[in-house]
Amino acid sequence: MAAPQAEQLKRVLKPVHLWAIAVGLVISGEYFGWNLGWAVSGTIGFLIATLVVTIMYITFIFSYTELTTSIPHAGGAFAYAYRAMGPIGGLVAGYATLIDFLLASPAIAISLGSYLHFLYPAIPIMQSAMLFNVAFIILNISGVKESATFSVVITILAVAELLLYMGVVSPHFKMDNYLSNPMPFGWAGVFAALPFAVWFYLAIEGVAMVAEEVKEPKKNIPRGYISALATLVALALGVMVLTGGITDWRKLSNLDYPLPEAIGIVLGKASGLTKVFASIGLFGLIASLHGTILASSRQVFAMARSGYLPRGLAGINHKFKTPHWALVAGGMVSFIAIYSGTTAQIIVLSVLGAIVMYLMSMLSLFILRKKEPKLERPFASPFYPIFPATALIISTVCLFAIIWFNLQVSGIFFAGLAVVIAIFVWMGKHKIALTDEMMAAPEYNH
């Protein structure tokens, strides 16, 4: 039972909001970033990497939904790992989730600034990235229902634009283009491309962060997750394959704006439609920036509420019932990362955080099945243990591939984790068992 004095988040979200938040969190991955995978693997090499990662996400989401519905807590993987593995397990999962979401936001903000700069060269990249960050922090403070309604509108526009894009480029698709030099780096390229394939789906798990704000979470969370995943798989495969067949794919493999460039090749750079398309392409990036700010703030809030971060960050705004200090703190991290200006490294760090979080979540699922067999599981992972085991194995392969091809960035991630664990142990927090009051997680089973 929650502590009487602890203020609760407001329960207002329905399946359509969850679909919009989940798709919105991810959809920028369809607009940029994934095409960098072509540069290291070729079209068929990247298709293989994407299909492997798609299988990982399908099995992961169906398994993760079991955790989200049986333990609907704003901390997501942090709460599941704490319950399964204790304080250190919770810390590792929480750290990984914070890296995942806190660094996805500045990566998307910089891309948004770059997109705007591409369209209107007078607009500076860094300043516009900062401005978007501030705007969405304010929107998120103003109330979760208001920000979720915005998610629905902006996500529908972003999905509609990708469908329009596929409709425009599909008549120009040529299989000869797509199969030209399909695997220039062989199977090594497939492994190198895995982080960029993950970018197609990265952050869908963020829906878990709003679990405490969902009406009837046990029924509505699975609906939101599954509809979102189906949408994203169709968009990712459609955009990737069609784009690869309209020209020499190498022309698009190192750009921050592959879709406007592809439309320009099909319709001509001078076409008014090309400019219009590039302008509305901002919707996908805006949707994801908004979603990652929402999700990262809930992670900061949940970890602060549990004493893993300064308690002041768990404050809830009396008027709007939103975690305003957690939003501001996340914004500060974004500002620092934006001014570091290393987008590629930020993306790899974010993906690394996500993969470690997926590993911790699947391990938590297996442990909780043994440790708490009577825990109410409104949505049980189908084909258990095959689905969570598949997600665990592919996540492990992805982890080793990312470390192998990004040793320096991986070193930063694991050094940070080691420092955090050392401070945690030095403060004696690993000896403190969190009570329900400290976790302040409402009981949903009664």
CATH number at residue 299: 1.20.1740.10
Mean pLDDT of 329-335: 86
The residue ranking higher by pLDDT, 186 or 32, is: 186
The answer to whether residue 36 is domain-embedded is: yes
Say yes or no to pLDDT of 277 above 80. Answer: no
Is residue 344 in a domain? Answer: yes
**Is residue 46 very low, low, confident or very high in pLDDT (cuts 50, 70, 90)?**
very high
Is the model more confident about 116 or about 404? 404
* Three-state SS at 383: coil
Long-range interactions of 372-378: CB distance < 8 A, separation 24+ = 372/83, 375/70, 376/70, 376/445, 377/66, 377/69, 377/70, 378/69, 378/70, 378/218, 378/219
Half-sphere exposure of 146 (CA within 13 A, CB side): 11
Please determine, for residue 431, whether its predicted confidence score (pLDDT) is greater than 80.
no
378 part of a folded domain: no
Q: Is a pLDDT exceeding 70 seen at residue 341? A: no
| Structural domains counted in the chain | 1
Other beta carbons less than 10 A from residue 248's beta carbon = 12
pLDDT at 189 over 60: yes
Residue 2 inside a domain? The answer is no
pLDDT score of 366: 97
Q: How confident is the model at residue 9 (pLDDT cuts 50, 70, 90)?
A: low
Mean pLDDT confidence for 358-362: 97
- Confidence at residue 74, expressed as pLDDT on a 0 to 100 scale: 67
More confident residue, 353 or 32: 353
CA-angle at 224, arms to 294 and 365, nearest 5°: 85
Q: Which helix (H) or strand (E) holds 258?
A: helix 258-267
pLDDT at 358 over 50: yes
Calculate the average pLDDT of the chain: 85
> Is a pLDDT exceeding 50 seen at residue 442?
no
Residues forming a β-bridge with 13:
214
Residue 1 is assigned to a structural domain of this protein: no
Whether the pLDDT of residue 145 is over 80: the answer is no
Q: Is 299 contained in some domain?
A: yes
Q: Is residue 4 part of a domain?
A: no
Give domain status of residue 211, yes or no: yes
Task: Supply the pTM of this predicted model.
Answer: 0.85
**pLDDT tens sequence across 151-167:** 788 889 889 989 989 99
On the question of pLDDT at 120 being above 60, the answer is: yes
Query: Is 212 a residue whose pLDDT tops 90?
Result: no
Chain segment 78-103, per-residue pLDDT in tens: 889 999 999 999 999 999 999 988 88
What's the burial of 123, exposed, middle or buried (CB within 10 Å: 0-12/13-18/19+)?
A: middle
Who has greater pLDDT, 255 or 231?
231
Range of the domain at 214: 15-373+383-437
